[in-house]
Structure 1
Amino acid sequence: MSSPELVVLGAVLALVAAVAVLARPRGASTVEFYLAGRGVGTATNAWAICGDYLSAASFLGVAAAVYVSGVDGAWYAVGFAAGFVPVLLFVAAPLRRFGEFSIPDFLGRRLGSERVRLVAVGVVQLVILCYLVPQAVGSGITWELLVGSGVAGLDPYTSGVLISTAVVALLVAFGGMRGTTWTQAVQFLLILGALVWLAATVVAEGFQYGSAVQGLSAEPLANPSAGPDGTSLVTGQNQVRPTEPASFGEPGTRYGGLGQFALVVTLALGTAGLPHVMNRYFTSPTGTAARTTTAWVLCLAGAFYALAVMLGTAARQLLPGAVDDHPWLAELTVDGILVVPEHALPVLGRLYGGEAGLGVIAAGALVAVMSTVAGLLLASAASFGHDVYERHINPRATQRQAVLAGRLTTLVVACLAAVLALALQPASFSAAMPSVVATMVTWAFAVAGSALTPVFVLTIWWRGTTATGAVAGMTTGVVVATAVFVAGALADGGLLREVMVTPTLLAAPAAAAVAVGVSRRTRPPRDVEASWVRMHGTAADRRAERLARLTLDDARGPQGRGVHRARR
């Protein structure tokens, strides 16, 4: 790696580390470590949620999917951005008003069941692991391109996975939610700035999105494919009109009509079940602040994904014509088309900004990975440390012991994710994926949208939801989503496979139906009306309910008051 790249990458990492140190927790309490004292402002939380959500799949994967698949790749941007619409309408405000630590904590207290809490912990940890692995893969891909060499005898991909995962795990363990919030806010501004710079640069060089799409659509869309005689360009078939070749500007490059719909539904429903995103709403001071934060996130995420789609298109149009003048580009392409689609943005940055430009974009990609990994590790720590360790393993744990358990959880989960990322290297996947990183993240959205979101929404909006129904719904969602996905992956192709590899369209209704059916045959918790007031009542209703709760706690003595303080 040359000096400009080192300077840019070093400066970015130093800034992130400094923010984490300066914003570290003020005390050793679980509310401070997991929720930053519930005092995160609207703008800061919106930036932090974007930093949490806009992962390697967003920064590298969306542009890569567009680069490979044209319009079909843009469906990732639509699904990722649309996911905050149901969050805004149905989840953000009631969730914050109820005011717990995590998704399992919310479900367990709302339904009055430790069994619900433990099942939710299992599902949450599965979603987190499915999301962590592609982030680690993205860091390995970026390191491989940016640095090009390994450390301590390791190959570049392995070095990138291990170093980035270790750094983030240590920052999270040290900084908690407060440090993570501010680092994620700064990280989002950095990655948005990197995209704005690159977009402004290519536009200044004469790039026009409309004419680029028209020009790219004038001939069939071909992409590199490995064969017995080496890697060569292969033209795909249009999935909507099978008699025609794939075209950049026409739907059907990767998915048929139903497959496109299934992908968007999977991504949109999955957002409301992502633990690292939903946990951020518990850090808002009020329900109104949570809703306002979500509105800001919608605007910021929409701008981000619009830039990613534009730059994926720019890379597809501009890179083939630059191969003759840049010999280094020939090593990454076949007839001008990138072999690894995730290289689209870093290569575009190097083409127009030299080594410093590559450093800016690659640093942005690593920052996107680090930001999302930080949120995932913190969600994992809250799920296990608070919902399992404090309540079941060591109910008499001190605040210091509980925080230590959370910190150790971040390190263990980070190690597991790194091991899986090394076992699942991109080269082992089929070239049929529009983007390895974006496709792998879709698996996490599928599990979250199938198992957590239906139960989550029912618990918030239906008084009749019961603990047994919630357990049955979450279990059904995981089992159906996994079974359908495996069956789809083994299928030869066709319309059925398109839906089965994004199984939320089938699994989420099944989970909801089972949850409703079982709930109708079982009894809801006794305090359902009090929970309903906390989530949906007016401010006066909530004050009356809180006063009644305080009166009851006082009647129980010091132990009751302690429970009330812990819940706040």
Structure 2
Amino acid sequence: MNPAVGVVALVVVSVATAVIGFYGLRISRTTGDFYVASRTVRPWWNASAIGGEYLSAASFLGVAGLILLSGTDALWFPVGYTAGYLMLLLFVAAPLRRSGAYTIPDFTEARLDSRAVRRVTSLVVVVVGWLYIVPQLQGAALTIRITTGLPPWVGSAAVVIVVCLTVVAGGMRSITFVQAFQYWLKLTALAVPALFIVFTLAGNGTAAVAPAAMNPTAMAPAGAYQNVSLLVALLFGTLGLPHVLVRFYTNPDGSSARRTTLIVLGLLSVFYLFPTAYGLAGRMFAPELAQSGRADALVLLLPGQLIGGTAGDLLSALVVAGAFAAFLSTTSGLVVSLAGVISQDVLGGGVRGFRLAAVISAIVPLGFAVTTDSLALAGSVGLVFAFTASTVCPVLLLGIWWRGLTDTGAIAGMVTGAVLCGGAMVCGAVLGAGTPFWLAQPAAWTVPAAFAVMVFVSRGTKDRIPKTMTRVMTRLHTPERPLVTER
């Protein structure tokens, strides 16, 4: 691939993102605009924006790479990513929108009438956000290194700079326009080269290489435990992702939140057809990428390898643009959600506090990304889902659906999940390939443990059930009055 192609693609998508973001500055005036777009985002816009921020480096690059390595076992990733939104539709979307909160800590404080719960939730949300941003920046570093030959840190730094500019300029309203555009760019960037590849392999063009057999040593199937644990992480982890949940605060009402979720399910289902196709094509025509440890680069390299020539370069440029759209959109969504939490809990709220918090939210994970090695993208993001499923998800589900939850139980459950899952992640990083299977995929036991501790401790502290519980639960499940006063 011509290195200039990668540079041009990076510049074009960055400029387009900045222009759209600065357009949002013209209509972002109030604190509500910056935090939740004044709750006026309609379902189709919101669904496109959710698709933009949810389809991260793991979806754009990692899923195809995992299918290249593991075959049909890796199909659990797109299935889990998509099915997690069905869980959102059934259990979280409408009640969370009715809460009237700006952030997840807003919700937990109002539901449990506890500042201590808010502080713990805020800390967990920030940790989750930073853990999720790091793979996006590492994906950008990988893309820059593979396609341009520039130092990897250039990709990470470029994402942070563009995200900071767009978020600081217009907050949530600005990012909504950006992410909606980026979803359709990502879908186009995968679909168009995939169609060219299909036509080429079907005989309408000339394939650049002949089908090859995969190295069987690279295709070891995952066991039943790993698949179950992965599904638990993806299904329950989606319910606790801060950058996804904050999107439901931008809908006008609970009904709009449900419609948004239905549309997202359709958008995700269409999108994941294409990484799957790339992975299957890679198993036939580019097995050497698995053998050389470059499986995550499959989507970037396959169009040029199979098509070749000027057409291959143009298709590769489109894929690179889509990849950077994935890094930018997910990172911007995370930065917006983290900025809302940090600005309210540390910097006193307001537009100025939001902007400073946005810069902090992006700079910290950049430091981690440039000083650590990249893991397999989908695998590392899967661990973030496991951590979220073990911490934020239990307090949300029980807070919405169980009247017996107490602040002490919520804190105990979140701490238990964070310690167990975080400990498993640290052990995995230290032990590497020698990590026991139950530590490599910990969600199957860390999520039930967090739920169990939260329930048992709450039952033992019934005297701490807040007096506002009945009023709050009624508002969560009866349309449509705000729970938290808008700031």
Whole-Å separation in 2 of the counterparts to 1:313 and 1:207:
15
Higher helix share: 2
111-120 vs 66-75, greater mean Cα deviation: 66-75
User: Structure 1, residues 503-529: CA drift from partner, whole Å, max 9, x if none?
Assistant: 121111111111111112222111111
1:513 aligns with 452
Deviation at 1:485, TM superposition (A): 3.6
1:422 aligns with 370
Q: Does 1:344 align with 2:283?
A: no
Q: Is the 8 A contact 1:72 1:254 kept in 2?
A: yes
- Map residues 285-324 of structure 1 onto 2, 5 A cutoff: 285-319=252-286
Whole-Å separation in 2 of the counterparts to 1:415 and 1:492:
27
Q: Which has the larger radius of gyration?
A: 1
Q: Is the 8 A contact 1:62 1:312 kept in 2?
A: yes
The verdict on how the C-alpha distance between 1:490 and 1:22 changes in structure 2, with shifts beyond 3 A counting, is: closer
The verdict on how the C-alpha distance between 1:476 and 1:82 changes in structure 2, with shifts beyond 3 A counting, is: same
1:34 aligns with 35
Secondary structure at the residue paired with 2:92? helix
- State the identity %: 37
Q: Does 1:381 align with 2:339?
A: yes
Deviation at 1:261, TM superposition (A): 1.1
Deviation at 1:42, TM superposition (A): 0.2
Among candidates 246, 254, 263, match of residue 279 of structure 1: 246
Whole-Å separation in 2 of the counterparts to 1:29 and 1:191:
31
Whole-Å separation in 2 of the counterparts to 1:190 and 1:179:
17
Q: Does 1:455 align with 2:395?
A: yes
2:192 aligns with 197
Q: Is the 8 A contact 2:34 2:351 kept in 1?
A: yes
Among candidates 193, 210, 221, match of residue 215 of structure 2: 221
Whole-Å separation in 2 of the counterparts to 1:488 and 1:316:
27
2:471 aligns with 530
Deviation at 1:161, TM superposition (A): 1.3
Whole-Å separation in 2 of the counterparts to 1:300 and 1:90:
20
Q: Is the 8 A contact 1:46 1:293 kept in 2?
A: yes
The one of the two structures with greater contact order (alpha-carbon pairs below 8 A, sep at least 6) is 2
Secondary structure at the residue paired with 1:425? coil
1:262 aligns with 229
2:145 aligns with 144
Q: Is the 8 A contact 2:28 2:173 kept in 1?
A: no
Q: Is the 8 A contact 2:387 2:417 kept in 1?
A: yes
Deviation at 1:12, TM superposition (A): 2.7
The verdict on how the C-alpha distance between 1:358 and 1:521 changes in structure 2, with shifts beyond 3 A counting, is: same
1:371 aligns with 329
336-345 vs 158-167, greater mean Cα deviation: 336-345
Among candidates 291, 314, 334, match of residue 356 of structure 1: 314
1:132 aligns with 133
Q: Is the 8 A contact 2:128 2:384 kept in 1?
A: yes
The verdict on how the C-alpha distance between 1:407 and 1:313 changes in structure 2, with shifts beyond 3 A counting, is: same
The verdict on how the C-alpha distance between 1:350 and 1:375 changes in structure 2, with shifts beyond 3 A counting, is: same
Q: Does 1:10 align with 2:11?
A: yes
Deviation at 1:315, TM superposition (A): 2.1
Deviation at 1:7, TM superposition (A): 4.4
Q: Is the 8 A contact 1:25 1:36 kept in 2?
A: no
Deviation at 1:124, TM superposition (A): 0.3
Q: Is the 8 A contact 2:65 2:295 kept in 1?
A: yes
Deviation at 1:488, TM superposition (A): 5.3
Whole-Å separation in 1 of the counterparts to 2:55 and 2:123:
24
The verdict on how the C-alpha distance between 1:499 and 1:356 changes in structure 2, with shifts beyond 3 A counting, is: same
477-486 vs 20-29, greater mean Cα deviation: 20-29
485-494 vs 503-512, greater mean Cα deviation: 485-494
Q: Is the 8 A contact 1:66 1:73 kept in 2?
A: yes
- Map residues 92-131 of structure 1 onto 2, 5 A cutoff: 92-131=93-132
Whole-Å separation in 1 of the counterparts to 2:425 and 2:326:
27
Deviation at 1:535, TM superposition (A): 1.0
Among candidates 151, 157, 162, match of residue 152 of structure 2: 157
The verdict on how the C-alpha distance between 1:337 and 1:518 changes in structure 2, with shifts beyond 3 A counting, is: closer
Among candidates 403, 412, 423, match of residue 351 of structure 2: 403
Letter in 2 for 1:417: P
The verdict on how the C-alpha distance between 1:338 and 1:205 changes in structure 2, with shifts beyond 3 A counting, is: farther
The verdict on how the C-alpha distance between 1:288 and 1:476 changes in structure 2, with shifts beyond 3 A counting, is: same
Whole-Å separation in 2 of the counterparts to 1:3 and 1:487:
41
Secondary structure at the residue paired with 2:436? helix
Whole-Å separation in 1 of the counterparts to 2:454 and 2:277:
42
Letter in 2 for 1:137: Q
The verdict on how the C-alpha distance between 1:528 and 1:423 changes in structure 2, with shifts beyond 3 A counting, is: same
The verdict on how the C-alpha distance between 1:365 and 1:386 changes in structure 2, with shifts beyond 3 A counting, is: same
The verdict on how the C-alpha distance between 1:511 and 1:148 changes in structure 2, with shifts beyond 3 A counting, is: same
User: Structure 1, residues 416-468: CA drift from partner, whole Å, max 9, x if none?
Assistant: 11111111123xx5xxxxxx111221221111100110111000001111111
The verdict on how the C-alpha distance between 1:565 and 1:178 changes in structure 2, with shifts beyond 3 A counting, is: closer
* Unaligned segments of structure 1, at least 5 residues: 150-155, 209-214, 223-234, 237-245, 247-252, 321-332, 391-400, 430-435, 550-562
Whole-Å separation in 2 of the counterparts to 1:421 and 1:383:
22
Whole-Å separation in 1 of the counterparts to 2:239 and 2:221:
26
TM, length-normalised to structure 2: 0.91
Among candidates 413, 421, 425, match of residue 481 of structure 1: 421
Whole-Å separation in 1 of the counterparts to 2:430 and 2:146:
32
User: Structure 1, residues 291-322: CA drift from partner, whole Å, max 9, x if none?
Assistant: 111111111111111211111111221236xx
Whole-Å separation in 2 of the counterparts to 1:36 and 1:268:
27
1:177 aligns with 172
The verdict on how the C-alpha distance between 1:192 and 1:220 changes in structure 2, with shifts beyond 3 A counting, is: closer
TM, length-normalised to structure 1: 0.79
User: Structure 1, residues 353-393: CA drift from partner, whole Å, max 9, x if none?
Assistant: 32221111011101100000000111110111123332xxx
Whole-Å separation in 1 of the counterparts to 2:430 and 2:13:
43
1:464 aligns with 404
